[in-house]
Amino acid sequence: MAYSILLRPAALRDLKGLPAEMRKRIEKAIDRLKDDPRPVKSRKLVGFDDEWRPRVGDYRVLYVINDADRRVMIARVAHRREVYR
């Protein structure tokens, strides 16, 4: 059963500010999280229970997995030098 994808307002703003080509790549990566919220190339953030980050080029997508509700909440999408601030 697939997970539903929810984007926080900050993540939507982040996506709108990206170049079109990078936005498409990131949207494809987010869409793949529906079937597998823990892909091989995604890493769990240290010190958090269920926060993950896949790498898409120089960008990171920060998200939280809720297995009980089968939801993936996208929190932020930003360049790697800015995302953890």
Between 27 and 80, residue with greater pLDDT: 27
* φ, ψ at 59 (rounded to 5°): -105, 155
Q: Quick check: 63 and 75 in contact, CB under 8 A?
A: yes
User: Coil, helix or strand for 44?
Assistant: strand
Q: Tens digit of pLDDT for each residue in 17-64? A: 999 999 999 999 999 999 999 988 888 888 777 889 999 999 999 999
pTM: 0.88
Selection from 46, 50, 36, 48 nearest residue 5 by Cα: 36
Please report the pLDDT score of residue 60 as a whole number: 93
- What pLDDT does residue 85 have? 67
Q: Is the pLDDT of residue 1 over 80?
A: no
Pick the CATH number of 4-79 from 3.30.2310.20, 3.40.109.10, 2.30.30.140, 2.60.120.380: 3.30.2310.20
pLDDT at res. 81: 86
